[in-house]
């Protein structure tokens, strides 16, 4: 186990210690495009929330390299158990930004029919399992899914994402211990962004690093510069290949920083020194990757502007489309509960229709969003 910080692009005063991964120019540019799109989505979605057009949002500002770089090392058949700060994974795996926005609006086109909180995506077509609000839930789920694939002799892996705060959850211990004992093909990605809402890292663990915790579970632990998308990809690619050939799980700690608040309901200025944000802003993952691409003659100014313009237009069209769709029909609350609607549900639906007809329940009233 080596806990040296893995770096490809390097940083001011910190030389790179890992060679660049072998990725084709089109793959590198696609990763960059998704990072830009994720950043722009964050900006627009936070504004939509402030304008009262959506109820809630969780920004990924500053963490684009961490989750997009890891996801780029997967295949379409691998299973993803994300956290709520990882929208770029879905975008990289082919989900349109309009589908994410349908979910944020909770309209009738939303795959979950408005039943989930905003930013709690679920996309069966890309094997992305529903995001959960309870801390650490997805860790044990991913370990179980990975074990199922091992039993079935499927050559796939499961990957799960969580913050430094989640390492204090019961599911962290249960998931890593289970995967370690049974050599399940699971990749655990701890996106260490320094804060669990308002609790700083030093209030979360007495361990020198999060990656060091891997030793207790009998698996490799690696630390990677989470703002270096190529370093993140390289570390994940190695872990995925190990898991795919039966060598078990890996814990990856990506060192990054949450530039925004925990969510649209949080004011980070109440507990965080703004000078720290200024330091991390100089290590912006998109700016670093852009400079690297330009240095390799893979990205030109006009090309970069075209990417940004295309992303802006995609977002505009997606917002327009999402806002034209009405809320789910009231009757949908009885769908997908059981394989076949029960007699009790039929009675409840009849009672609700009568209440709506008499005006006891206001049509279209959803109440205030709780957060």
As given in the structure block, the two tokens for residue 309 are 């313009």
Is pLDDT of 13 > 70? no
- Is 258 among the residues known to form the active site? yes
Mean pLDDT on 84-107: 97
pLDDT digits (tens, 9 = 90+) for 33-44: 999 999 999 999
- Is 102 among the residues known to form the active site? no
pTM given for the model = 0.94
Clarify whether residues 284 and 347 are in a common domain: no
Give the closest residue to 183 by CA, choosing from 226, 151, 137, 229: 151
Catalytic residue among 50, 271, 338, 366: 271
Catalytic residue among 44, 85, 237, 262: 262
- Domain holding 166, by residue range, is 5-323
Clarify whether residues 216 and 265 are in a common domain: yes
Angle of helix 25-50 relative to helix 229-244, nearest 10 degrees? 110
For the purposes of burial, counting CB atoms within 10 Å of the CB of 338, is it exposed (0-12), middle (13-18) or buried (19 or more)?
A: exposed
Q: Does residue 246 come out as left (phi exceeding 0), alpha (psi in the -120 to 50 range) or beta?
A: left
As given in the structure block, the two tokens for residue 357 are 């007809």
pLDDT digits (tens, 9 = 90+) for 256-283: 999 999 999 999 999 999 999 999 999 9
Collapse the DSSP code of 317 into the 3-class scheme (helix H, G, I; strand E, B; otherwise coil) and give the result.
helix
Clarify whether residues 91 and 36 are in a common domain: yes
Write down which residue in 305, 323, 341 finishes a domain.
Answer: 323
The pLDDT assigned to 370 comes to 56
Clarify whether residues 257 and 281 are in a common domain: yes
Angle of helix 25-50 relative to helix 285-295, nearest 10 degrees? 150
Clarify whether residues 243 and 345 are in a common domain: no
CATH number of the domain to which 83 belongs? 3.40.50.970
Catalytic residue among 120, 127, 237, 258: 258
Number of domains in the chain: 2
The pLDDT assigned to 262 comes to 96
As given in the structure block, the two tokens for residue 181 are 């004992």
- Is 33 among the residues known to form the active site? no
Clarify whether residues 116 and 264 are in a common domain: yes
Mean pLDDT of the chain, nearest integer: 94
Clarify whether residues 315 and 348 are in a common domain: no
Collapse the DSSP code of 188 into the 3-class scheme (helix H, G, I; strand E, B; otherwise coil) and give the result.
strand
């Amino acid at each position: 186990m080596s806990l040296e910080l893995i770096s490809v692009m390097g940083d001011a005063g910190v030389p790179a210690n890992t060679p660049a991964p072998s990725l084709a120019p089109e793959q590198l540019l696609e990763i960059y495009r998704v990072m830009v799109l994720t950043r722009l989505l964050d900006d627009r979605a936070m504004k939509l929330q402030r304008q009262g057009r959506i109820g809630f949002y969780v920004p990924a500002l500053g963490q684009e390299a961490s989750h997009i770089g890891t996801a780029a090392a997967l295949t379409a058949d691998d299973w993803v158990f994300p956290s709520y700060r990882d929208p770029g994974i879905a975008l990289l795996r082919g989900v349109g930004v309009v589908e994410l926005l349908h979910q944020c609006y909770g309209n009738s086109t939303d795959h979950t029919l408005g039943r989930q909180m905003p930013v709690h995506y679920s996309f069966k077509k890309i094997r992305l399992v529903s995001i959960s609000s309870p801390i650490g839930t997805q860790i044990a789920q991913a370990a179980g899914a990975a074990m199922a694939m091992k039993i079935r002799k499927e050559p796939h892996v499961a990957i799960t994402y969580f913050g430094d705060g989640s390492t204090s959850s019961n599911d962290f211990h249960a998931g890593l211990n289970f995967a370690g004992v049974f050599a399940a093909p699971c990749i655990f990605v701890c996106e260490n962004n320094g804060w669990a809402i308002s609790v700083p890292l030093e209030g979360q663990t007495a361990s020198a690093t999060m990656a060091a915790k891997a030793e207790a579970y009998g698996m490799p632990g690696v630390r990677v510069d989470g703002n270096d998308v190529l370093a993140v990809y390289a570390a994940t690619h190695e872990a995925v290949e190990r898991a795919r050939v039966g060598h078990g799980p890996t814990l990856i700690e990506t060192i990054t920083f949450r530039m925004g608040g925990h969510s649209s309901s949080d004011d980070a200025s109440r507990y965080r020194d703004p000078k720290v944000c200024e330091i991390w802003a100089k290590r912006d993952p998109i700016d670093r990757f852009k400079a690297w691409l330009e240095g390799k003659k893979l990205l030109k100014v006009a090309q970069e502007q075209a990417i940004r313009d295309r992303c802006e237009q995609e977002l505009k069209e997606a917002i327009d489309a999402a806002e034209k769709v009405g809320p789910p029909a009231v009757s949908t609350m009885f769908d997908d509960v059981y394989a076949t609607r029960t007699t009790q549900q039929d009675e409840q639906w009849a009672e609700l229709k009568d209440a709506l007809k008499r005006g006891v329940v206001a049509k279209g009233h959803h109440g205030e969003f709780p957060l």
